[in-house]
Amino acid sequence: MRKLLLLFITLAFSPKLFSQKIFSEGIIKYDVFVNGTDNPDGVYILTVKNGFTRRELAMNSGYNNIIIYNTKTGITTSLNMDAGNKYALEMSAAEVMQKNKSFEKAVFVPGTEKKQLAGHLSTRSAVTYTNGDKAVFFYTGDLLPPNDSFNTMFPGLKGIPLEYEIKSANNMMIRFVATTVETKSIDVKLFDIPKDYKIVTKKELENIR
């Protein structure tokens, strides 16, 4: 009885246990800023449901990219248009793992600065990767990732990043700032590969081009 009472008291004074929840279904929208612009240059929409993740980047310039990830199979599909042709580039779990290898063994150093982002109190943190790259970001501990692969850039993070910056292949600095976090019912059809897209591997797409 004493042990049960002690457990109850411990839980009662651990509000973090009750405030944290897994973000298993819903959307997160981010404004996208390129090279320090004051006004958003686009929007990034992250959608999750039943082990599926859909990431859509829509820029004001007209560029659009959609990436769909299936947790069960480990397969990532990127929807691309090339010269009017539509291709669904499929990457195996092994290829995805190799692509994200530079993010492995990330070391986090939490800071003390906090701010509100999309209705969630977020904490500043720094991360260092094995190749020496470093980044600063803000994340909320209110929400937990639905699976280990959800936070691609931040493996093992006990929360979800709501503001972060990355450097693109052509050395542009792209900053993502969350504006909306919404838990809602998502139509599973959103994760289907459109029928007018031809599914190809990386090698097949290179041969086509």
In tens, the pLDDT along 131-149 reads: 888 899 999 999 999 988 8
pLDDT at 7: 39
What is the secondary structure of 101-141 as a DSSP string?
Answer: GGGTT-EEEEEEEEEEETTEEEEEEEEE-TTS-EEEEEEES
Given this model, what pLDDT does residue 113 score?
97
Per-10-residue mean pLDDT, the chain, length 209: 42 49 96 96 97 95 93 92 84 89 90 96 94 92 92 93 88 94 96 92 76
- Which DSSP state fits 40? -
The pTM (predicted TM-score) of the whole model is: 0.86
Domains, the chain, in order of start with CATH, read 20-208 (2.50.20.10)
Burial of 149 (0-12, 13-18, 19+ CB in 10 A): middle
Q: Return the pLDDT at 119.
A: 95
Say if residues 68 and 53 touch (Cβ distance below 8 Å): yes
46: its two tokens:
């992250």
Which residues share a beta bridge with 135?
Answer: 127
The alpha carbon of 171 is separated from its chain's Cα centroid by a whole number of angstroms, namely 20
- CA dist 72 and 180 (Å) reads 27
pLDDT of residue 191: 96
The encoded tokens of residue 88 equal 């669904």
Q: Decide if 86 contacts 80 (C-beta within 8 A).
A: yes
Per-residue model confidence (pLDDT) at position 102: 87
